[in-house]
Amino acid sequence: MPRKFTPKIITSNHLLRGDTIYLSPSGKWVDRFRQARVFTDETEATQALAAIDRQRNIHVGAYLADASVSKDGVPQPAHFREQFRDTGPSNYFHGKQAEV
């Protein structure tokens, strides 16, 4: 039996701004985890990652991150590190959480 593939999203940091960005279903970079495209197929995920790796002067260090997906299909970070990247630091109201 093939091992179960945890759903993934693609995330990176913006080259100029440095902030966290996510690959959306339309192939654009967006700001929040919940807007990211969810990959449920491993091959598809790695192929997409390889493809955007070519846009090297837009972003830095893209990778696949685990997501847990709600019933209505919205992805949430599966690990606390991704949670913090998606919101911002806990000592100040800065970062994504402060952006409307």
Partner 1 sequence: MYNYSEFDETFVRARVAEFRGQVERRISGALTEEEFKPLRLKNGLYLQLHAYMLRVAIPYGTLNSRQMRQLAMIADRWDKGYGHFTTRQNVQFNWPGLGDVPDILDALADVSMHAIQTSGNCIRNVTADHFAGAASDECEDPRPTAELLRQWSTDHPEFQYLPRKFKIAVTGSRADRAVTRAHDIGLRLITSEEEETGYQVLVGGGLGRTPMIAKIIRPFLPRQHLLPYIEAILRVYNLSGRRDNKYKARIKILVHETGLDELRSRIEAEFERRLADFAGVDQGVVAAIEEAFAAPAFVARPNNRHLDRLDADSNYREWVRTSLARHKRPDYGIVTVSLKRVGGTPGDATSVQMTALADLAEKYSHDELRVSHEQNIILPHVSRADIPAVYDGLRAAGLASANVGLISDIIACPGMDYCALATARSIPVAQDIARRFDELGLEKEIGPMKIKISGCINACGHHHVGHIGILGLDRAGVENYQITLGGDATDKAAIGRRAGPGFSAEALLPALERLVDRYLVERQDGSESFIDCYRRVGEAPFKSALYPGATQRRTRFRRRKRA
When binding is defined by CB under 8 A, the residue of 1, 71, 80, 100 that contacts partner 1 is 80
Q: How far apart are CA 45 and CA 7, in angstroms?
A: 9
Q: Is 52 in the site for partner 1 (CB under 8 A)?
A: no
Per-residue contact track with partner 1, 12 to 41, x per CB under 8 A? -x-xxxxxx---------------------
Torsion angles phi and psi, residue 48, rounded to 5: -65, -40
When binding is defined by CB under 8 A, the residue of 4, 26, 43, 90 that contacts partner 1 is 90
Q: Is 51 in the site for partner 1 (CB under 8 A)?
A: no
Contact 22, 35 (CB under 8 A): yes
Return the beta strands (E) in 1-100 as ranges: 8-14, 20-23, 29-30, 59-69, 75-77
Q: Which residues bind partner 1 (CB under 8 A)?
A: 13, 15-20, 56-57, 60-61, 78-81, 84-85, 88-92, 94-96
